[in-house]
């Protein structure tokens, strides 16, 4: 772990106590500085395969700082770091990956105390939309987030975290080196994305995406997203089963009010995911197409919540012969108890009917954990003297 990364992490934690709220009218010749630090700290016991193990569950800390002038124009910067509280594995939460490659996986960050989840800068034009640059949640995730709300499981049927990654290289999750534009107009929500992460594939834009949502009723949204990734010719010609550039498409709906949180996502991808296979006693990567489905249901009360859902993800077309039929297929049941506002305990049980590419059956898993969520928001006016006109 680098000293700079540790310093950033400590600054984020310290910032919870550093900014007082200020609700006065903004004076002339001033800017409004706003600061939003937050943290989520999670761990659980997991019982599976007749064993019991203490595991990390994707703890993170982050912040966003913004500066707004008296015309309402806001510049902002944000960062989020995965935080490993102890030396425990993160095995079942697909959101826990911080490796961002596609085909060429890089695991160098995974077991550091801090590792990068998000980092971006942007400008908010208010009613004219927001432009954001950096490593950020993709416009494809604007739709697939409808069901990515479980405490531990889920996220395997939406083609978001493909290739055992955070969806950074594919542009479907926490997209690398991306530029996004988002606009909220009446009941419409538009998202546009371009990815600029390679100079070796003969494409000016290395990937692009679009999402569109419409709010039918208060709390009820429907939407769809598509994402295209461009790979170099050498990768396309030398990767088994890859007969084109990866394409991802999702369709979803969500509904949320004081008692219910419901989500549905259907996903389809071409050339967008891979698994290992053995040819002539050599382990190599094989690409496949797939369809997926996710359901999320949560019944909410002040002190407790009940959760249920379903994930399935199965290859549809494959030019590769795997050793067995690959499939993800499981039911999720769970609950939360909230003795006070900031913390709660959770139970989640995964009932699995899945097999990997080598024919190994997945196992049922029961988790019991603790989660503490902290955040605060503050703002302060900073007044600057006028610039001197003297030479």
Beta bridge partners of 317: none
Q: Which two tokens stand for residue 188?
A: 């419409």
Does residue 145 belong to any structural domain of this protein? yes
Asked whether residue 223 is domain-assigned, the answer is: yes
Instruction: Assess if residue 390 is contained within a domain.
Output: no
Q: What is the pLDDT of residue 107?
A: 44
pLDDT at 20: 47
Question: Of 266, 191, 200, 184, nearest to 235 (Cα)?
Answer: 200
Q: Give pLDDT tens digits for 239-281.
A: 888 889 999 999 999 999 999 999 999 999 999 998 888 887 8
Q: Is residue 61 part of a domain?
A: yes
Q: How many domains does the chain have?
A: 1
The residue with tokens 């967008």 is 272
- Lookup: tokens for 73: 């124009």
Supply φ then ψ for residue 14, to 5 degrees. Answer: -65, -30
Q: What are phi and psi of 118, to 5 degrees?
A: -140, 150
**Which phi and psi (to 5°) does residue 316 adopt?**
-105, -50
Look at the block and give the residue holding tokens 């003795």. 339
Q: Which tokens sit at 17?
A: 């106590």
Of 200, 199, 162, 196, residue with least CA distance to 178: 196
Count of residues in the chain: 391
Which domain covers residue 238, as residue numbers?
A: 3-383
Judge whether 343 lies within some domain: yes
**Alpha-carbon distances, residue 45 vs 97, 152, 354, 365, 378 (angstroms):** 19, 11, 22, 10, 35
Other Cβ atoms closer than 10 A to 355: 16
What are the residues whose beta carbons fall under 8 Å from the beta carbon of 186, sequence distance 6 or more?
none
Is the distance from CB of 223 to CB of 213 less than 8 angstroms? yes
- The domain that holds 118 is classified in CATH as 2.40.160.10
Do the Cβ atoms of 220 and 255 come closer than 8 Å? Answer: yes
For residue 131, being part of any structural domain is answered with: yes
Residue 388 lies in a domain: no
Alpha helices per DSSP H over the chain: 3-14, 141-144, 233-238
Count CB neighbours of 351 within 10 A: 13
| Mean predicted lDDT score pLDDT of the chain | 88
What is the residue-level pLDDT of the chain in tens, covering all 391 positions? Answer: 454 555 555 555 555 555 544 545 667 678 899 999 999 999 999 999 999 999 999 999 999 999 999 888 999 999 999 998 887 777 889 988 887 777 754 444 556 778 899 999 999 999 999 999 999 999 999 999 999 999 999 999 999 999 889 999 999 999 999 999 999 999 999 999 999 988 878 889 999 999 999 999 999 999 999 999 999 888 888 888 888 999 999 999 999 999 999 999 999 999 999 888 888 788 888 899 999 999 999 999 999 999 999 999 998 877 778 877 888 899 999 999 999 989 999 999 999 998 888 888 889 999 999 999 999 999 888 876 665 555 5
Q: Which of 79, 74, 82 is nearest to 57 (CA)?
A: 82
In a domain, 389, yes or no: no
Residue-level pLDDT at 226: 98
- For residue 273, the SS3 value is strand
Q: How far is 277 from 32, CA to CA, in rounded Å?
A: 56
- Contact between 135 and 177 under an 8 Å Cβ cutoff? The reply is yes
């Amino acid at each position: 772990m680098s000293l700079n990364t540790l310093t950033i992490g400590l600054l984020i934690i310290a910032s919870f106590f550093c900014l007082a709220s200020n609700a006065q009218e903004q004076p002339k010749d001033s800017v409004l500085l706003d600061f939003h630090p937050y943290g989520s700290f999670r761990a659980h016991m997991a019982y599976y395969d007749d064993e019991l193990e203490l595991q990390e569950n994707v703890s993170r800390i982050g912040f966003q700082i913004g500066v707004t002038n008296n015309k309402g124009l806001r510049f902002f910067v944000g960062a989020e770091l995965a935080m490993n509280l102890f030396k425990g594995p993160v095995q079942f939460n697909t959101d826990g990956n911080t490796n961002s490659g596609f085909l060429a996986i890089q695991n160098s960050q995974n077991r550091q105390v801090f590792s990068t989840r998000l980092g971006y800068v942007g400008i908010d034009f208010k009613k004219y939309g927001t432009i954001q640059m950096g490593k950020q949640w993709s416009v494809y995730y604007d739709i697939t987030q409808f069901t990515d709300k479980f405490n531990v499981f889920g996220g395997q049927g939406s083609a978001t975290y493909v290739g055992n990654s955070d969806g950074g290289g594919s542009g479907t999750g926490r997209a690398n080196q991306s530029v996004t534009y988002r606009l909220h107009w009446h009941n419409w929500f538009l998202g546009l994305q371009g990815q600029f992460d390679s100079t070796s594939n003969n494409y000016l834009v290395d990937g692009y995406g679009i999402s569109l949502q419409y709010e039918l009723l208060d709390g009820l949204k429907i939407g769809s997203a598509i994402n295209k990734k461009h790979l170099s010719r050498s990768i396309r010609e030398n990767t088994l089963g890859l007969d084109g550039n990866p394409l991802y498409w999702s369709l979803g709906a969500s509904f949320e009010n004081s008692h219910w949180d419901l989500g549905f996502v259907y996903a389809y991808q071409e050339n967008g995911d891979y698994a290992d296979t053995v040819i002539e006693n050599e382990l190599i990567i094989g690409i496949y197409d797939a369809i997926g489905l996710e359901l999320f249901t949560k019944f909410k009360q002040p002190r407790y919540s009940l959760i249920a859902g379903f994930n399935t993800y199965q290859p549809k077309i494959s030019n590769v012969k795997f050793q067995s039929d690959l499939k993800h297929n499981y039911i999720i049941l769970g609950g939360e108890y909230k003795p006070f506002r900031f913390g709660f305990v959770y139970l989640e049980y995964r009932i699995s009917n899945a097999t990997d590419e080598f024919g190994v059956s997945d196992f049922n898993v029961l988790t019991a954990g603790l989660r503490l969520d902290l955040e605060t928001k503050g703002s302060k006016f900073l007044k600057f003297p006028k610039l001197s006109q003297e030479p």
